[in-house]
């Protein structure tokens, strides 16, 4: 069963239509070769990925740096124009393919989506107050007058734990701690009541002591407002806490996707196994078998058609070298894996463990 058949694509756990239905999404960046020569080489940052996100669901996108996670998130909120594929967005009375919309259509779409960036300081204008920062989407979309916007900002600052809110309203970003700035970023993302938020490693630059509080805040707000998240992270512990499902990316491809606990307890792709084996275990008496993978991440420039993981995979065989990149196939309850040798790998690992 492969995702070549769209009716069998990796689906969200919901009987209703998905909020986002992404099909064969691509982002190829040209490598410049001269002023008067058309590029012949392209960086395949995202290379034909398909998945769904249900209303109110949080999907974690995990993988090493450079695998295409942030590029995917930026395409979903229209900060980058995809070079191929479709992004069907359904939000109440709004339904359209937003992959290539422009102008006023983009402005209307952005009322419904927002993004929380990794660095809470770089994503804010240091010359603008917290009120200016949080209320800017309201001003751009011409929502309410100034007193109404001020009341909305005060309400959100209280909601994200910045109290008394009046004391923060006219401060500048440099007057706040990292955790407070990220709370402001969350308030700004929620000010338009969006249905979908892309959170690009929003806690990775915060101290460990305040990371949990921000994660709890985001998880609580998602439940309260039924917001869907694409949560981009390289930290599997964060993904476990925040996400209903996890999608594992490698060099522009999704290689495994499924419910969070299913992925973490029964990983089936060699790359996912390697990621999990690298996570430290706090119990010194517990032993974990490391998955040995070879070399480093390959270059994504004009990659060959076969499996992207083939050069590092300890289980690579002739079938991997003579066929195109494997499609995602159903291997459990909403658990999809892109690997030709899943059965053989599982059998070998079970025999070694027994």
Tell the burial category of 12 from Cβ atoms under 10 Å away from its Cβ (0-12, 13-18, 19+). buried
- The answer to whether residue 189 is domain-embedded is no
- The answer to whether residue 12 is domain-embedded is yes
- The answer to whether residue 163 is domain-embedded is no
CB atoms within 10 A of CB 284: 6
Per-residue pLDDT at 345? 86
Q: How far apart are CA 313 and CA 289, in angstroms?
A: 16
Q: What is the CATH number of the domain that holds 70?
A: 3.40.50.300
What is the number of structural domains in the chain?
A: 1
Listed residue (177, 137, 186, 178) closest to 157, CA to CA:
186
- The answer to whether residue 170 is domain-embedded is no
Q: How far apart are CA 2 and CA 222, in angstroms?
A: 31
- Across residues 103-127, what is the average pLDDT? 90
CB atoms within 10 A of CB 240: 15
Confidence of residue 7 (pLDDT cuts 50, 70, 90): very low
CA atoms within 13 A on the CB side of 53: 29
Please, are residues 54 and 229 in contact by the beta-carbon 8 Å criterion?
no
Please, are residues 309 and 297 in contact by the beta-carbon 8 Å criterion?
no
- The answer to whether residue 82 is domain-embedded is yes
- The answer to whether residue 79 is domain-embedded is yes
CB atoms within 10 A of CB 305: 8
Mean pLDDT of the chain: 88
Domain span including residue 93: 6-112+194-353
Confidence of residue 285 (pLDDT cuts 50, 70, 90): low
CB atoms within 10 A of CB 260: 19
Q: How far apart are CA 140 and CA 202, in angstroms?
A: 24
Own/partner long-range contacts of 120-125 (Cβ < 8 Å, ≥24 apart): 120/173, 120/178, 120/181, 120/182, 120/184, 120/185, 120/202, 120/205, 121/173, 121/174, 121/178, 121/181, 123/185, 124/173, 124/181, 124/184, 124/185, 125/173
- Across residues 272-278, what is the average pLDDT? 87
Q: Is the pLDDT of residue 124 over 50?
A: yes
pLDDT in tens, 39-90: 888 999 999 999 999 999 999 999 988 899 999 999 999 999 999 999 999 9
- The answer to whether residue 166 is domain-embedded is no
- pTM reported for the whole predicted model: 0.89
Per-residue pLDDT at 204? 82
- The answer to whether residue 128 is domain-embedded is no
């Amino acid at each position: 069963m492969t995702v070549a058949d769209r009716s069998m694509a990796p689906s969200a756990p919901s009987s209703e239509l998905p909020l986002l239905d992404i099909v064969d999404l691509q982002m190829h960046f040209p490598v410049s070769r001269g002023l008067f020569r058309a590029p012949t080489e392209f960086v395949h940052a995202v290379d034909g990925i398909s998945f769904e996100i249900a209303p109110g669901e949080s999907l974690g996108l995990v993988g090493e740096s450079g695998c295409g996670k942030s590029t995917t998130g930026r395409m979903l909120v229209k900060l980058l124009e995809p070079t191929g594929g479709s992004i069907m967005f359904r939000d109440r009375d709004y339904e359209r393919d937003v992959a290539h919309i422009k102008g006023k259509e983009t402005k209307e779409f952005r009322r419904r989506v927002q993004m929380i960036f990794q660095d809470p300081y770089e994503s804010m204008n240091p010359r603008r107050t917290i009120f200016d920062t949080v209320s800017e989407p309201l001003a751009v979309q011409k929502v309410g007058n100034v007193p109404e916007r001020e009341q909305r900002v005060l309400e959100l600052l209280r909601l994200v734990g910045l109290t008394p809110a009046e004391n923060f309203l006219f401060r500048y970003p440099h007057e706040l701690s990292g955790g407070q700035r990220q709370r402001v970023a969350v308030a700004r993302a929620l000010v338009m009541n969006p249905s979908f938020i892309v959170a690009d490693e929003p806690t990775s630059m915060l101290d460990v002591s305040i990371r949990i509080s921000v994660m709890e805040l985001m998880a609580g707000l998602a439940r309260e407002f039924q917001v869907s998240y694409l949560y981009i992270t390289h930290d599997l512990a964060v993904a476990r806490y925040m996400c209903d499902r996890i999608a594992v990316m490698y060099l522009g491809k999704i290689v495994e996707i499924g419910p969070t606990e299913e992925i973490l307890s029964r990983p089936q792709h060699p790359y996912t196994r390697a990621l999990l084996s690298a996570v430290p275990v706090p119990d010194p008496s517990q032993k974990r078998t490391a998955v040995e993978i070879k070399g480093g991440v390959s270059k994504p420039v004009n990659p060959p058609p076969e499996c992207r993981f083939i050069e590092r995979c300890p289980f690579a065989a002739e079938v991997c070298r003579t066929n195109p990149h494997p499609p995602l196939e159903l291997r459990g309850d909403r658990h999809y894996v892109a690997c030709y040798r899943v059965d053989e790998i599982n059998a070998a690992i079970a025999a070694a463990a027994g």
